[in-house]
Amino acid sequence: MLSDVEALHPKTDARRVVVVGSANLDIVVPVPHHPMTGETVMGGDHALVPGGKGANQAVAAARQGAVVAFVGRVGNDDAGTALRTSLGEAGVDTSHLSVDEEAPSGIALIGVDAHGDNAIVVSPGANARVGSSDVGLAEAVLADASVVLLQLEIPIDAVDAAATTATGLIVLNPAPAPSAPGTLPASLLERVDVLVPNAIELAQLTGSNPSTDVDGLTEAARGLGVGTVVVTRGAAGALIVTAETTVVVPAPTITPVDTTGAGDSFCGALAAALAGGVPVDEAVRRAVHAGAIAATRPGAQPSMPTAGEVDDSLDAGTTGPDR
């Protein structure tokens, strides 16, 4: 199964992952519930936590043992310094993280309710200035990567340029999804080896009605024309959809504390495993456990588990993939 992906990257010790994406400073506030329009909600003490989909996924991949480089931008401010420091402390190469003198670092305003569910508003700042020139400066490291991991919190021309430059496996997390179906360039999707949407993002990409059942998700995923689509389903785990097969990968049972960054933990762990030549079924299973662990901890980057923690979660015992 999934022989095309596995043949592209046989098992290797290199495990080189390059993430091209966003870095935000998250301002996290616990709230009793998320406000309705016009409502003011009194929250608890806020916390400043390094985040951003790209940076989160880079940290997640590094904690799984991959050799990771990050391509992006921050502002010349305290937030930018904190974001660079957090990436560096996780072992991520930040030599291609540029400082933008004309824009502040990106921030995300995150409310987390009593059930661990979040609502997020992002102010992109310097992330909105990431472009093909940034990708060009990182051409050598992109060409050397086993896996290039992309998201959509930076301009699409930068994402497209990175996919064009990459010579290895391309993994795209289409988040946030485009506002209208068909606006993601077909040329970009054609180059993607593994697409990782959640169920809502899949519906937005295809223009279909949101679905939670396996048959509906499979039909929507196959309509995108990508060789392998991994649909994340939260507490229900994930689906691996190809033209021929659908595999259900269950999630361990947890009590969520904060779901912020759980999807990024999934993507980073998936990229790290694929970069090491791990079969896709097993890579997704590791990613499901990495995402589940992250959801049991507060914050984004601080919640990302190590490879050993994922091993322990797997050893604790859950059922394997169902075909």
Q: State the catalytic residues.
A: 264
Handedness of CA 159, 59, 311, 142 (dihedral sign): positive
Task: Select from 175, 146, 148, 173 the least CA-distant residue to 162.
Answer: 148
Spacing of C-alpha 106 from chain mean position: 17
Spacing of C-alpha 98 from chain mean position: 21
Alpha-carbon gap, residue 99 to 126, rounded angstroms: 8
Alpha-carbon gap, residue 155 to 28, rounded angstroms: 25
CA distances from 88 to 62, 132, 189, 301 (A): 10, 24, 31, 12
Q: Please, what's the b/e burial string for 62-75 (b: 16 or more CB within 10 A of its CB; e: otherwise)?
A: bbbbbbbbbbbbbb
Alpha-carbon gap, residue 53 to 41, rounded angstroms: 26
Question: Which tokens go with 243?
Answer: 């033209």
Question: Which tokens go with 218?
Answer: 């499979």
